[in-house]
């Protein structure tokens, strides 16, 4: 009887062991992989710590913050919410009430044909690209179009009660741009400025902004596109959804270009971001930058907003 009980116990133990082995193999086949052995906990295997580019939320394509789908094997990003609207149905261009957020331009892949330079303008453009530091790096206002190329974002403030839209950006002398929405026309002789005189109107869900009255103390973009005081710019802002703005601009400046030309870029909205206190003069450590004496300086300086 004792031997019989012992044999039964051995048989039961064998069945239990075989069950555990089978269960472990099934877990590996299901994708779980083997459990880490002693000494192989979190941090022991470097390859287990590696993260795909962008998966940390700020770097490569596919990461959080504007990537292309969350990386291979990751969950697809949830679709963006619809563009917010005012009670009358007009698109909101800024943040929701009680919230903050900034727009960031992506001009790297803007669509459009070749820019039709006048010969002198092409020469200025080529020279600037190789030799000059742009005026905005010397604490001058960014100017129209260029203001959307700041890495610190822009704040679009809708004020329908006063029929004005403000566009604020960090850098320079804390300047901002005013878009009049009250149906007025351009003055006959507007005072020349970096942001010109802007009037806006809605065409469906697109804000169309017409601007004239520029000075020549800024670049159209960071690369050095020139212009003259005769420049006329038409911009079209279309908020596609909560996080995306389609930005189209047409430049008509017969003194600098042989024909009007148009470019298109996208802007991304980052909820929760805010403009910060940026004193341009405190960041420009070289006195030659502030007085404008130094132009042939490395244009890649990080002080350039």
Q: Low-confidence residues of the chain, pLDDT below 50? A: 1-73, 109-110, 112, 294-305
Residue with tokens 């070289």: 286
pLDDT, tens only, 21-54: 444 444 444 444 444 333 333 333 333 333 222 2
Same structural domain, 26 and 169:
no
> Do residue 21 and residue 132 come from a single domain?
no
Do both 254 and 107 map to the same domain?
A: yes
- Shared domain check, 120 and 43: no
Verify that 35 and 121 share a domain, yes or no: no
Residue 22 lies in a domain: yes
Same domain for 109 and 45, yes or no, is no
Asked, for residue 94, whether it belongs to a domain, the answer is no
| 140 and 44 inside one domain | no
Q: Which residues pair with 249 in a beta bridge?
A: 235, 263
Tens of pLDDT, residues 197-248? 999 999 999 999 999 999 999 999 988 999 999 999 999 999 999 999 999 9
Q: Is residue 70 part of a domain?
A: no
Total number of domains constituting the chain: 2
261 & 115 share domain:
yes
- Are residues 136 and 258 located together in one domain of the fold? yes
DSSP states of 225-274 = ----TT-EEEEEEEEEETTEEEEEEEEE-TTTBSS-EEEEEEEEEEET--
Residues 126 and 251 in one domain: yes
Q: How high is the pLDDT of residue 138?
A: 76
Strands 176-180 and 197-203: parallel
Domain finish residue from 16, 33, 49: 49
CA 257 → CA 129, 213, 287, distances in Å?
18, 17, 35
pLDDT at 174: 66
- pLDDT value, residue 65: 37
Same domain, 41 and 110: no
158 in a domain, yes or no?
yes
Residue at 296 is within a domain: no
With contact defined as beta carbons under 8 Å apart, do 104 and 270 qualify? Answer: yes
Note down the domain range covering 188.
101-291
The reply to whether 196 falls in a domain is yes
pLDDT at 135: 81
Same domain, 15 and 133: no
pTM of the predicted model as reported, rounded to 2 decimal places? 0.68
Let me know if residue 85 belongs to a domain: no
Which residue(s) pair with 252 in the sheet? 232
């Amino acid at each position: 009887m004792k031997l019989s009980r012992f044999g039964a116990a051995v048989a039961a133990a064998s069945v239990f062991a075989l069950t555990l082995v089978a269960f472990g193999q099934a877990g590996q086949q299901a994708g779980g992989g083997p459990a880490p052995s002693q000494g192989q906990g979190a941090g022991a295997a470097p390859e287990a710590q590696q993260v795909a580019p962008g998966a940390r939320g700020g770097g490569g394509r596919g990461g959080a913050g504007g990537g292309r789908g969350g990386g291979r094997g990751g969950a697809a990003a949830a679709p963006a919410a619809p563009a917010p609207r005012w009670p009358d149905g007009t698109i909101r261009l800024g943040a929701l009430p009680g919230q903050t957020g900034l727009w960031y331009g992506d001009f790297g892949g803007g669509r459009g044909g070749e820019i039709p330079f006048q010969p002198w303008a092409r020469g200025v453009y080529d020279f600037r690209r190789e030799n000059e530091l742009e005026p905005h790096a010397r604490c001058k206002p960014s100017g129209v179009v260029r203001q959307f190329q700041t890495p610190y974002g822009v704040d679009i403030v809708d004020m329908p009660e006063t029929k004005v839209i403000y566009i604020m950006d960090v850098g320079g002398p804390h300047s901002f741009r005013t878009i009049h929405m009250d149906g007025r026309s351009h003055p006959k002789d507007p005072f020349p400025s970096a942001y010109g005189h802007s009037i806006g109107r809605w065409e469906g869900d697109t804000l169309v902004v017409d601007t004239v009255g520029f000075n020549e103390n800024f670049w159209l973009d960071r690369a050095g596109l020139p212009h003259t005081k005769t420049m006329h710019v038409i911009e079209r802002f279309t908020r596609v959804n909560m996080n995306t703005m389609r930005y189209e601009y047409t430049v008509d400046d017969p003194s600098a270009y042989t024909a009007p030309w148009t470019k298109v870029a996208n802007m991304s909205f980052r909820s929760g971001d805010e403009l910060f206190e940026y004193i341009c003069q405190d960041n420009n450590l070289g006195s030659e930058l502030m007085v404008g004496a130094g132009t042939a300086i490395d244009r890649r300086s990080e002080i350039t907003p």
